[in-house]
């Protein structure tokens, strides 16, 4: 049975309008809440030109062999973000095991029935960027490997924002660390990724530029996820701070520093000079 000519024309016209609209917009929004409690978060399209620019945007790494790493599948696996400072984030799939493994990062609980989901993305691919504007704890997992791959994003209010903590006065001591005492809960995780010593074009520390806030997340915890040894060695530090040096870190070793003097810290791996990174410390 033939279609009426008028209907075909209308359908074609609507298709053209939809294509033009999608091409023109180039972005879309996720609404992370129910109609009774509304918070929106913009997600940049994977094909858009926008990039995750530190320190305002944090890249969360999916480590090589992530499906068997449990608490270290994501790096940082417990990311602490501050609204107005660095509460935009993306995921980068660095799982090169067996030629590359696909993953997702899908939220499973949050303060206001919220949800974000990267969808399945392949090895060496980057997810869309997400900006969360509601303080709270966002637990997430990989839908493909739900039993082993879990992570958490903790979002806190920035200075002067709703629910912000009282200001913390930084001491004159710039750094502290201990191999025997417990790592403080106010921490920010940095990974030395697998292959860091071999690929001079890739970041040796992930993320390689971070912004932390005194009293919120100013303990930096480095984990050596590479197969070779590395160091975490400061090169320039703010006035009044102390230099730091991890000495040799074997594979799977952990080193941490609590930075309490605001300013910019630069550091390297003394064995691989191209492995460079920056920490920006802000007052609470």
Domain ranges of the chain: 58-161+169-282
Residue that the structure tokens 């298709």 belong to: 15
pLDDT of residue 35: 30
Answering whether pTM is above 0.75, one says no
Arithmetic mean of pLDDT, 99-104: 90
Could you read off the pLDDT of 118-172 as tens digits, one per residue?
Answer: 899 998 888 988 988 888 888 999 999 998 899 888 888 875 333 333 222 222 2
Q: What is the CA radius of gyration of the chain?
A: 22
Angle CA(185)–CA(188)–CA(190) in degrees, nearest 5?
135
225: helix, coil or strand?
Answer: coil
273: helix, coil or strand?
Answer: strand
- The answer to whether the beta carbons of residues 219 and 257 sit under 8 Å apart is yes
Could you read off the pLDDT of 61-95 as tens digits, one per residue?
Answer: 888 888 887 667 887 788 888 888 888 888 888 88
Residue 17 has pLDDT above 70, yes or no: no
Could you read off the pLDDT of 169-205 as tens digits, one per residue?
Answer: 222 233 444 443 566 666 788 889 888 888 888 889 9
Residue 254 has pLDDT above 60, yes or no: yes
Task: Enter the tokens of residue 242.
Answer: 């102390």
- The answer to whether the bond into 207 is cis (omega within 30° of 0) is yes
Task: Return the CATH number of 58-161+169-282, one of 3.40.50.620, 2.60.40.420, 3.30.230.10, 3.90.1150.10.
Answer: 2.60.40.420
Residue 210 has pLDDT above 80, yes or no: yes
d(CA 174, CA 262) in angstroms, rounded, equals: 9
């Amino acid at each position: 049975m033939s279609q009426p000519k008028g209907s075909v024309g209308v359908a074609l016209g609507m298709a053209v309008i939809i294509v033009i609209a999608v091409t023109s917009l180039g972005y879309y929004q996720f609404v992370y809440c129910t109609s009774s409690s509304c918070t929106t978060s913009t997600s940049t399209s994977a094909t858009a030109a926008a990039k995750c620019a530190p320190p305002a945007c944090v890249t969360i790494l999916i480590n090589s062999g992530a499906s068997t790493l449990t608490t270290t599948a994501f790096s940082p696996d417990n990311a602490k973000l501050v609204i107005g400072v660095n509460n935009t984030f993306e995921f980068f799939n660095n799982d090169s095991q067996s030629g590359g493994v696909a993953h997702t990062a899908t939220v499973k609980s949050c303060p206001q029935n919220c949800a974000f989901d990267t969808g399945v993305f392949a090895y060496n691919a980057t997810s869309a960027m997400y900006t969360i504007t509601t303080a709270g704890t966002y637990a997430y997992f990989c839908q493909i490997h739900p039993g082993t791959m879990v992570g958490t994003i903790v979002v806190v209010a920035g200075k002067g924002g709703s629910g912000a903590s009282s200001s913390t006065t930084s001491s004159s001591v710039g750094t502290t660390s201990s191999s025997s005492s417990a790592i403080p809960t106010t921490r920010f995780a940095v990974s030395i990724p697998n292959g860091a010593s071999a690929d001079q074009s890739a970041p040796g520390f992930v993320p390689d530029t971070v912004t932390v806030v005194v009293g919120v997340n100013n303990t930096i915890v480095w984990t050596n996820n590479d197969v070779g040894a590395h160091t975490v060695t400061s090169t320039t530090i703010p006035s009044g701070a102390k230099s730091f040096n991890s000495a040799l870190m074997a594979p799977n070793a952990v080193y941490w520093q609590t930075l309490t003097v605001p300013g910019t810290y630069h550091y390297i791996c003394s064995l691989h000079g191209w492995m460079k990174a920056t920490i920006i410390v802000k007052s609470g």
